[in-house]
Amino acid sequence: MQRFFVKEDAINGDTVRLEGDDARHISFSLRMKRGDRISVCAPDGSLYTCRLTAFGEGYVEAAVEERTVCDTEPPYRVRLYQALPKGDKLETIVQKAVECGVYEIVPFESRNCIAKTGNNPEKKLERLNRIAAEAAKQCGRGIQPRVLPTRSFRQMLREAGEAALPLFCYEGEGTVPLGALLKGCEREIAVVVGSEGGFTPEEVEEARTAGLRLCGLGPRILRCETAPVFVLSCLSLSRELTPHEA
Amino acid sequence: MQRFFVKEDAINGDTVRLEGDDARHISFSLRMKRGDRISVCAPDGSLYTCRLTAFGEGYVEAAVEERTVCDTEPPYRVRLYQALPKGDKLETIVQKAVECGVYEIVPFESRNCIAKTGNNPEKKLERLNRIAAEAAKQCGRGIQPRVLPTRSFRQMLREAGEAALPLFCYEGEGTVPLGALLKGCEREIAVVVGSEGGFTPEEVEEARTAGLRLCGLGPRILRCETAPVFVLSCLSLSRELTPHEA
């Protein structure tokens, strides 16, 4: 069933109102008719099965038939802090990270980033959020993960440091293997991944001082677009896919 | 240090002889000189540190200074059986799978594949093997994973079924979660991943009958190019990155 993400105020009792792109998508691309069924995901994790009831100028209304809890969301929230990579790699990272269960994606600038935020950051951000939304629909997420505006390295450290488990992925010395760091059951997790050029020794030291956990991803050197998928997959194995004793 | 993969017969006592592309790469692209150092990986997992000693017509010779064992190879061998995806996705899959520790990659045709082997399969295979070789150098593998010629679905089942742990990734009913299947310590693992169109119910039944384990990758639906990275990352977490009690 086609899935749509709405804001809280779109749901009013047993009626859901879809506007803008969603309404156009239903009416013109999907050519759906009154009586057809859709899935609607609310920000609180509710999943509504609805039947289309009315088509108006720029909106569509649907009646709620059933309300369940969406069971495709991970039992943790990962904020991925990604140093700006070259070219359109950030788009690939956003798409794959959403599939693998990321909660939010926060790009940041570091010393060795070749890419910079550049002109028209609003337009770029809008495009990234559109990619996230598409990926969320396609893979069956219960929420629509957001991409947030680019942070400075310092800002990133401050925010990431507030997570219960702040992981700073690093291929150098002095790290703890990811597997050892995933033994707990923290709900709020930050994952910091560098760009092609990696981090400078000063940045690594700053991260350590800010309380982040230097985290090793194994014996091979992963590309900056592979590392986020790697970490999110590992998290999924350790918390979603492996039956643990209570 | 720049890394090269050689066949066994390239090593003769304390002398290594590099020819073809490797020799050209050293002489012309890297402009290395006598006395410069390179790493040479042999098929048996040995890692040689060598110093360049001679430049000839179409070859380069180097003297072995130290021999160690390469420690970037996983303690297991994964053969990834990948149903032919659309466009150039197979190239991305090969690159990422090599980074994540795959041993061999075997494309195969299934009912819902839109892509077919097509004309000039030898040329395509050569290109995929070049991508694998590049990725292996870049991420520091100790071997050069190979891409093998495309198999039929039946052929794939026969070969995959011989692995100690044959995983058939499937998003439908009747699967066991990946986490439960990775509890053992099998060395020879087959991972079968579908194309965009997935598998038909008949193919799933055939796989089950052939002794493959239907394996679930979690609550979200992964794209065909994400699934191999997901499984290989999970394997790495369960066997390389998590300290286990003996």
pLDDT in tens, B153-186: 999 999 999 999 999 999 999 999 999 999 988 9
Cα distance from A226 to chain B (closest Cα, Å)?
A: 7
C-alpha angle with apex B21: B19 to B27, nearest 5 degrees? Answer: 80
ipTM above threshold 0.85: yes
- CA-nearest residue of chain A to B181? A242
- Give me the mean pLDDT over the B179-207 stretch: 96
Distance from C-alpha of B83 to C-alpha of B117, rounded to nearest angstrom: 11
- Compute the average pLDDT of residues A94-118: 93
Reference B23, options B61, B53, B49, B51; nearest CA is B61
pLDDT at B237: 96
Q: Which 3 state secondary structure label does DSSP give B119?
A: coil
Contact B241 A177 (CB under 8 A): yes
- Closest Cβ opposite residue A218 in set B180, B234, B241: B241
Q: Can you tell me the mean pLDDT for A61-79?
A: 95
Range A24-35 average pLDDT: 94
What is the percent of chain A where pLDDT is above 90? 89
Structure tokens at B42: 């042999």
> B246 falls in which pLDDT band (50, 70, 90)?
very low
In chain A, what percentage of residues exceed pLDDT 70? 99
Asked whether the beta carbons of residue A99 and residue B234 sit closer than 8 angstroms, the reply is no
Residue contact A237–B237, C-beta within 8 A: yes
Q: How confident is the model at residue A115 (pLDDT cuts 50, 70, 90)?
A: confident
Closest CA relative to residue B109, chosen from B68, B150, B170 = B150
Lowest-pLDDT choice from A130-139, B4-13, B116-125: B116-125
The yes-or-no verdict on residue A244 having pLDDT over 80 is no
For residue B43, is pLDDT > 90?
no
**Is the pLDDT at A245 greater than 70, yes or no?**
no
Q: What is the pLDDT of residue A81?
A: 98
Cβ atoms within 10 Å, residue A179: 22
**B140 and A238 in contact by Cβ < 8 A?**
no
DSSP B193: E
Longest dimension (CA), chain A: 61
pLDDT, one tens digit per residue, over B205-243 is 999 999 999 999 999 999 999 999 999 999 999 999 987
Closest Cβ opposite residue A223 in set B71, B99, B233: B99
CB contact under 8 A, B220 and A180: no
pLDDT of residue B156: 98
Question: Is the separation of the CB atoms in A76 and A187 below 8 Å?
Answer: yes
Q: Is the pLDDT of residue A43 over 80?
A: yes
For B179, which of A72, A99, A242 is closest by C-beta distance? A242
Tell me if B172 sits within 8 A of B91, measured CB to CB: no
pLDDT, position B242: 87
Q: Which amino acid is at B24?
A: R
**Measured CA angle at A237 (ends A234, A242), to 5 deg:** 155
Q: Are B53 and B65 in contact (CB under 8 A)?
A: no
Q: Residue A239's closest chain B neighbor by CA? A: B179
Q: B234 vs A233: CB contact, 8 Å cut-off?
A: yes
In percent, how much of chain B has pLDDT > 90?
A: 89
Tell me the per-residue pLDDT of A195-231, one tens digit each, with 9 for 90 and over: 999 999 999 999 999 999 999 999 999 999 999 999 9
> Average of pLDDT values for B83-101?
97
Q: What does residue B140 show for φ and ψ, rounded to 5 degrees?
A: 85, 35
B74 → chain A, closest CA residue: A219
Q: Do A229 and B234 touch (CB under 8 A)?
A: no
What's the pTM value of the predicted model, to 2 decimals? 0.92
The C-alpha atoms of residue A97 and residue A82 are separated, in whole angstroms, by 11
Which of A233, A242, A244 best tests the B interface by mutation, with the highest count of B CBs <10 A? A233
Name the band, by pLDDT with cuts 50, 70 and 90, for residue A246. very low
Q: What is the DSSP string of A159-172?
A: HHTTSSEEEEE-SS
Question: Which chain A residues are within 8 Å of B236, Cβ to Cβ?
Answer: 218, 230, 234
Size of interface A-B (CB pairs under 8 A): 126
Residue B197 has a pLDDT of: 93
| Chain B residues with beta carbon closer than 8 angstroms to that of A141 | 220
- The count of C-alpha atoms lying within 13 angstroms of the C-alpha of A245, restricted to the half-sphere facing its C-beta, is 0
- CB-CB contact of A243 with B180 (8 Å): yes
The model's pLDDT over A124-160, given as tens digits with 9 standing for 90+, comes to 999 999 999 999 999 999 999 999 999 999 999 999 9
- For A72, the closest chain B residue by CA position comes to B219
Residues of chain B contacting A, Cβ within 8 Å: 71-73, 96, 99-101, 138-141, 177-180, 182, 216-223, 226, 229-231, 233-234, 236-238, 240-243
